[in-house]
Chain A
């Protein structure tokens, strides 16, 4: 025994020395020297759905990677509601018919691989993403489908022509799909025309990205972590922190413990409401709250009997108590949603609240009469109009227990209870895992179900078109040509006032037909170590790593 004691004791002593001495771990920003320093660990329960390729990434984490490593011609500065130039030197000249956008590009920009950024790179990147979009409708490339042609008449000028006017075009150009990538690095990752199916997806560059952004990826471990380092070729202000690690957690409770134990510096997307509340006011931690742009809503399958009757859908809308969901499940941290277009936008029209809220006017048979404070009377009136003057209507309410977080069951149960409180509905709450949920939705097997929406680009249009156009989403199987025409009208209307009217009219029509019932809007919340500053959570939902700093 004594023979091994010596080396063991020596090893223990060395380890203790290592423990006391620290070392190159994830320390804070320290040391002088040139360039950014320090490191920050961000924990998240998000997972990567596809890849880091801007042409494919269409999930939150994929887009976040793109936003921090690549840049777009225009972007949203923190808390801005309109895009401003980024890789473009100024906002584009737009032709009077709204079809031609001419951009002058910023000079002196390089990709993280050292190659120069120029008009050819813009043309390459946008055409590449658009080509993928044409072949792979699940990728984000479809957002650029209105581009008819791209010309690069000189190194610093790009001319983009559209097939039809679209006032949301600049917002779409600010989304990650329009991230500009190095043509050199992506030379082999383009479609040559003949690919289909799996051959298309095989062409994406999935595990790294070469853009002009403030960071570059140095390591990626699937479902484990993504490591970033400040891009040495970055043209703009240096990021505050040299190294960022994004740690991927499988459950929010593990993320909460890691933050509590200082193993991560930031916990973002998503701790549960009670876990976030734990850090509120706790010494050593900060809770940063910002307006979110994601919405939660009920879908009514309008092709399923008896929900093809608008009056029955209206009765359901009148019976749902959104405030109870917000108060009971989210302890007031969420916001009641009164329209599918959230109140972040000035053109949000709270029609669902006006038509079906507690203070909504009671309809006579088909029109509306004197105000009535009781939601129940409103429910009765609509049910009468639907030919159900007495008795209860059975509702099969579906939800998916994990995809939207651990609160989903409580959300479904509170909705069910508030419906049954009216004494006019009996609710059968049913659940199924997310993998099966999508299948059931498409097959029309769920008459009423909970869903969520996180916008692709910051424009009210992105809360209307996908819900009206079956080619994009339309989970209610609504497929209403009148609604689609109203959407196309607002998309083509350049005058801001006229467009606002068109957007409001579309919301009003949607509220009247009730294929969807908006429920609530959850805020964005990040729990951080008190040492971390620079967390900005705005509706555009770009988590800007380059502003993060650890003191």
Chain B
């Protein structure tokens, strides 16, 4: 286990470096200039040069790269070029919103993926199975912004059940404790705040969760089919256990082991999906910030946020790999 852990950690370092390098280079290849975006259209050439110099953008690329990687290693992401705000401040203020959204979406994804996948497998080759499979494919193929707009039109504009965007109603923010509105509202006993937070969370979480859930539907179904044919499930049936117990306690449990590992991979997809979801629902998370900073070619902010994303995804993946290896010894021996 220890060796596995060390190997896994050792692989993380080059992965991060590769990502930092790709982010750095892609931003500089893209057209546009953060200095122009910062100073506006009427800045004098002298002022533009001065800012370029103060930001180190007039340095050779390798030197810029060195100072970027050096800063990242020390946890210093610098200040956003276009707003002057420290990148860590943006992360601190906005990460709770992204975390709340992704966790809620993960819940939706797991509920839909496991529920529909298991039902499809249990009722294999029935209309229910066909419907489940089609749903899985459609959800996986649906672009997030399209699904989001569809839900906005249906549930907000036509039915008027839910808000179109934002984290909560105006002036209904709960007292700040963790930054997770649902948690803060619960901890402070603010029922109105909790209600508004949940109402606002519903559509973005369902949109993002369904898209990710589409992947899980197929995965759970396949694993479940294998599990239902396995010896231990047959043995359970032979012992005369009720079918419900056989499916839920024996087949589903063993079918979920590989799902745990896949969820780790899906978490990266979830975070990248969160960028589009946040944009569609005006959800004030890191993804929404990233979208804006990208538009302004704010090198420092984009690099900082992407690095943070990468660290977060790597940490979660590592955690899930360790959990998987702990649960299933075959992983660490392979």
Contact of A24 among B36, B43, B90, B172 (CB under 8 A): B172
**B142-177 interface with A by 8 A CB criterion:** 149, 152-153, 156-157, 160, 163-166, 169-172
What would 15 more interface pairs be, CB under 8 Å, given A138-B47, A222-B83, A247-B166? Answer: A15-B191, A24-B171, A25-B192, A137-B47, A221-B284, A223-B292, A227-B171, A245-B170, A247-B170, A250-B282, A250-B291, A258-B166, A263-B164, A433-B31, A436-B36
- Residues of B37-53 at the interface with A, using a CB-CB cut-off of 8 Å, are 37, 39-45, 47-48, 50-51
Chain A nearest Cβ from B284, distance in angstroms: 4
* Distance of A472 Cα from B43 Cα, bound (Å): 9
Interface range on chain B (Cβ under 8 Å from partner): 35 or more
Find out whether the CB atom of B85 lies under 8 angstroms from the CB atom of A222: yes
Could you tell me the distance between the alpha carbons of A206 and B195 in the complex, rounded to whole angstroms? 34
Interface positions of A from 235 to 254, Cβ below 8 Å from B: 243, 245, 247, 249-251, 253-254
Least distance between A225 CB and chain B CB atoms (Å): 8
The residues in B between 188 and 206 inclusive whose CB is less than 8 angstroms from any CB of A are 191-196, 198
List, in ascending order, chain B residues with CB within 8 A of A434's CB. 37
Docked CA distance A39–B164 (Å): 20
Interface readout for A172-195 with B: 1 if CB under 8 Å, 0 if not?
000000000000000000000000
Q: Does A438 contact B (CB under 8 A)?
A: yes
Q: Once the chains bind, are B36 and A243 in contact (CB under 8 Å)?
A: no
A254→B166 CA distance, assembly (Å): 10
Residue in B36, B149, B280 whose CB lies within 8 Å of A438: B36
Chain B residue nearest to A49 (CB atoms) is: B40
Is there contact, CB below 8 Å, between B164 and A197?
Answer: no
Query: What are 7 sample pairs from A and B whose C-beta atoms fall under 8 A apart?
Result: A222-B83, A222-B93, A227-B171, A257-B164, A433-B32, A436-B36, A473-B42
> A496 interface residue, CB < 8 Å from B?
no
Assess the A258–B165 pair: CB atoms within 8 A: yes
Contacts of A23 in B (CB 8 A): 172, 191-193
Give the Cβ gap from B212 to chain A, nearest Cβ, in Å.
22
One digit per residue, 1 when the CB lies within 8 angstroms of any chain B CB and 0 when it does not, for chain A 441-482 equals 110000000000000000000000000000011000000000
A22 touching B164, Cβ below 8 Å: no
Which of A25, A137, A249, A251 has a CB less than 8 Å from the CB of B170? A25
Residues facing B in A184-232 (CB within 8 A) are: 197-198, 201, 206, 221-224, 227
B84:A436 contact, CB within 8 angstroms:
no
- Size band of the interface chain A makes with B: 35 or more
Asked if A439 contacts B195 (CB within 8 A), the reply is no
* With known contacts A221-B93, A434-B37, A18–B171 Cβ distance under 8 A: no
Residues in chain B near residue A258, CB distance under 8 A: 163-166, 282
A interface with B by C-beta (< 8 Å): 14-15, 17-19, 21-26, 39, 41, 47, 49, 58-59, 137-138, 197-198, 201, 206, 221-224, 227, 243, 245, 247, 249-251, 253-254, 257-258, 260-261, 263, 402, 432-439, 441-442, 472-473
Chain A residues positioned under 8 Å from B50 (CB to CB): 197
Is B334 located at the chain interface by the 8 A CB criterion?
no
- Is the beta-carbon distance between A472 and B288 smaller than 8 angstroms? no
Q: Assuming the A-B contacts A250-B292, A261-B160, are A58 and B171 also in contact, with contact meaning beta carbons closer than 8 angstroms in the complex?
A: no
**B214 proximal to A (CB < 8 A):** no
Q: Are B37 and A435 in contact, CB atoms less than 8 angstroms apart?
A: yes
Is B296 close to A, CB under 8 A? yes
Once A223-B292, A472-B42 are accepted as A-B contacts, the answer to whether A436 and B192 lie under 8 Å apart by CB is no
Chain A nearest CB, measured from B244 CB (Å): 12
> Nearest chain-B residue to A14 (Cβ)?
B191
Is B166's CB under 8 angstroms from A263's CB? yes
Distance A257 CA – B166 CA, assembled complex (angstroms): 12
Q: Please indicate the chain B residues that have their CB under 8 angstroms from the CB of A26 in the complex.
A: 169-172
Chain A residue at smallest Cβ distance from B278? A250
Q: With A and B bound together, what is the CA distance between A473 and B284 in angstroms?
A: 35
Closest to B90 in A: A222
Tell me whether A257 and B165 are in contact (CB under 8 A).
Answer: yes
Q: How far is the CA of A25 from the CA of B282 in the complex (A)?
A: 19
Nearest Cβ in chain B — how far from A335, in angstroms?
24
Report the Cα distance A171→B218, complex, angstroms: 67
B34 at interface by CB-CB < 8 Å: yes
Chain B residues contacting A243 (CB-CB under 8 Å) are 171
B84 touches which of A201, A223, A441, A442 (Cβ 8 Å): A201
B39 nearest CB neighbor, chain A only: A138
Q: Counting CB contacts under 8 A, is B279 at the interface?
A: yes
Q: Chain B contacts of A472 at CB under 8 A?
A: 42
- Taking CB atoms, residues of chain A closer than 8 Å to B45 are 442
Question: CB of B289 within 8 A of chain A?
Answer: yes
Cα(A224)–Cα(B166), bound, Å = 9
User: For B48, what are the chain A residues with a Cβ–Cβ distance below 8 Å?
Assistant: 442
**B36 touches which of A18, A224, A435 (Cβ 8 Å):** A435
Q: Report the separation of the CA atoms of residues A198 and B170 in the bound assembly, to the nearest whole angstrom.
A: 36
Q: Are B163 and A433 in contact, with the CB atoms below 8 A?
A: no
| Distance A41 CA – B85 CA, assembled complex (angstroms) | 26
Which B residues touch A245, using CB under 8 A? 170-171
**Given A49-B40, A138-B39, A263-B166, A15 and B157 contact (CB-CB distance below 8 Å):** no
For B284, give its contact among A224, A253, A254, A257 (CB under 8 Å): A224
Contact with A along B261-296 (1 / 0, CB 8 A): 000000000000000000111101000110110011
